[in-house]
Amino acid sequence: MLARTLLALALAAVLLAGCGSQTLQQQSKSLKALAAEGGLLAGNAARGRSTTVFTREHAGFLLKSANSSASALARATSAKGRQLAQVAVRIQNDLERLQRSGSDRAEQQRLQTDLERIARKL
Amino acid sequence: MKQFLQIALGILSAIGGFVDIGDLVFNTQAGATFGFQLLWVVVVGVIGIIVYSEMCGRVAAISKRPVFDLVRERVGFSAGLGTLIASEIVNLLTCAAEVGGVAIVLQLLSGLPYRYLILLGVIGVVVIAWVLPFEWLERLFGYVGLGLLVFAVAAIKVHPHWGSVAHGFVPGMPAHNHAVYLYFVVGLLGAALTPYEVYFYSSGAVEDGWGAKDLRINKITSVIGYGLGAFLSFALMIVAAVLFLPRGIDPQFLGTPALGAQEALGKVGLILALVGILFAVGGAAIETSFSGAYNVAQFFGWQWGKREKPSGAPRFALSWIIIFVLALGIVMTGYDPVKITEYSVIFSVVALPLTFLPILLVANDPTYMGRYTNGRISNALGIVYFILILVIALSAIPLMVITNGGQG
């Protein structure tokens, strides 16, 4: 009986926790995190401290997350929301370029600078 | 050398259990969110798992029966069945998360498509688990998983402020974000005290043929194995606190901890971290599937054990393969393994009392243990931890809802 109650409660919690939509403040925080992580990854790639595969694949994971943030923000109607949507698109573009950068260190250096600038501003 | 090889069970339990995907995620997120402030929780968690592992290793060595066998006998069929169902759900979710973790790391290493790698990863792990004898599974995953020690080197290389690190071992409450802080306390304890670790450890002790003469090695194995796991958890949290917190990075990906090793140690650090993570999560995938099969087989009284040929324990062999197949199905839906991990840790917290109470009862029962029942210190610690487990089990779900799964 106790086990069944605990299981039911746990299932309900999973559903409830998964239902929450992100506020603009949370979206901004998520974008900052993605830009900062992308900047760190690009910086390591630019200094030859990463493998091409890791840079491409990890940038891919970050990009996927940026895509879902961008889709959510595309529906925003407030000025702040639209502004964040533009930032999300810029992060998307940077991560896409990082994914394709291969061993182009100059490009990776540029992307590091841009992503870090975005992260600082958010 | 013989003793070094003997403690492999503890190292595999620690590497595959204490530092599985759940710990990698929760420790890194904890460091990136609260800096060094949650280091003390790892200490609380590791003492708890040492206390209970030592207890169930002793039970297995003396009674020659693993924990789940005794759970059913001690608490009866209904309560035993409840514990079995709860444990199997946690095992399955955790196994799915670990399988997904194996595929992600293989993707980060090879660049091949994720879906193929899930399949390849599961086939690889199943073949290894089928072919290798139990002690070689312990050694392969335990010792290659030691690649995670790269995080200890990284923790030194990132030059943390050691005074602040030391301060993190003193329990306290931050000025804000109380609910999220408590969610991480519960998550870190849940990740440290996962039920499958004790089931695997006690069944492994029976598989290794432990007896009364092995009680010393049981103590050493618990302390060294889980102590090592805690050491790695500290390292992960320190690296995240120094590198991710100031930048505002929120680690949501399995590659993020490896990025920390890369920032500190370059390409070599990255490769060692990825290989260490691969073997840690691969070992944990085997542990969870075996643990699930051990529980079912022991509950229903089937022949069980990796030492048995599959034809000698067919239902046991089929059970762990079925768990892998179900885990494969879950991961193939495309659900993020890191999210599955977070849920499985919270589920496991809810199931903890059902796992730990029977261990405490049996370890105190002279009918099973003779003169090897719990001493005063073991009992005091066991009871204190059981109360703590009850508190975190009751608070896990409300905290998960209030904090939106730790998002704040």
More confident residue, B206 or B242: B242
Q: Mean pLDDT across the stretch A7-11?
A: 51
Q: Give residue A18's pLDDT.
A: 47
Amino acid at B345: V
Task: Categorize the per-residue pLDDT at B79 as very low, low, confident or very high, splitting at 50, 70 and 90.
Answer: confident
Taking CB atoms and an 8 Å cutoff, what residues of chain B touch A56?
111
Q: B351 CB near a chain A CB, below 8 Å? A: yes
Q: Among all residues of chain A, which has the CA nearest to that of B114?
A: A57
Q: Where are the domains of chain A?
A: 21-121
Whose CA is closest to B192, among B50, B327, B290? Answer: B50
More confident residue, B13 or B379: B379
User: Quick check: B323 pLDDT over 90?
Assistant: yes
Query: Are residues B50 and B10 in contact, defined by beta-carbon separation less than 8 angstroms?
Result: no
Q: A67 CB near a chain B CB, below 8 Å? A: no
Interface test with A, best of B343, B344, B355, B392 (most A CBs within 10 A): B343
Q: Does B259 contact A40 at a Cβ distance shorter than 8 Å?
A: yes
Q: Residues B160-170: pLDDT tens digits?
A: 999 999 999 99
Give the CA angle between residues A113, B31, B356 to the nearest 5°.
Answer: 150
Distance from the A17 Cα atom to the nearest Cα atom in chain B, whole angstroms: 5
Q: Which of B:97-156 have CB within 8 Å of A?
A: 107-111
Q: A79 CB near a chain B CB, below 8 Å? A: no
Give the CA angle between residues A18, A21, A27 to the nearest 5°.
Answer: 120
Query: Are residues A76 and A24 in contact, defined by beta-carbon separation less than 8 angstroms?
Result: yes
Q: Give residue A81's pLDDT.
A: 86
Supply the ipTM of this predicted assembly. Answer: 0.87
DSSP B188-214: HHHHHT-HHHHHHHHHHHHHTT--GGG
Q: Does A2 contact B82 at a Cβ distance shorter than 8 Å?
A: yes
Give dist(CA B346, CA B194) in Å, integer.
10
CB contacts < 8 A (A, B): 116
Q: Mean pLDDT across the stretch B299-309?
A: 83
Place of tokens 């968690």: B45
Q: A44 CB near a chain B CB, below 8 Å? A: yes
User: Quick check: B155 pLDDT over 70?
Assistant: yes
Q: Give residue B30's pLDDT.
A: 94
Task: Categorize the per-residue pLDDT at A52 as very low, low, confident or very high, splitting at 50, 70 and 90.
Answer: very high
Q: Does A3 contact B79 at a Cβ distance shorter than 8 Å?
A: yes
Q: Give residue A19's pLDDT.
A: 44
Q: Does B253 contact A1 at a Cβ distance shorter than 8 Å?
A: no
Q: Does B407 contact A20 at a Cβ distance shorter than 8 Å?
A: yes
What is the pTM assigned to this prediction?
0.89
Whose CA is closest to B354, among B278, B311, B404, B299? Answer: B299
Which among B89, B274, B404 is the nearest to A17, CB-wise? Answer: B404
DSSP B149-161: GHHHHHHHHT---
DSSP chain A: -HHHHHHHHHHHHHHHHHHPPPPHHHHHHHHHHHHHHHHHHHHHHHTT-S-HHHHHHHHHHHHHHHHHHHHHHHT--SHHHHHHHHHHHHHHHHHHHHHT-TT-HHHHHHHHHHHHHHHHH-
Q: Give residue B143's pLDDT.
A: 80
Q: Residues B349-378: pLDDT tens digits?
A: 877 888 888 888 889 989 888 899 998 999
Average confidence score pLDDT of chain B: 88
Which among A13, A44, A58 is the nearest to B263, CB-wise? Answer: A44
Q: A15 CB near a chain B CB, below 8 Å? A: no
Q: Among all residues of chain B, which has the CA nearest to that of A34?
A: B249
Q: Give residue A74's pLDDT.
A: 85
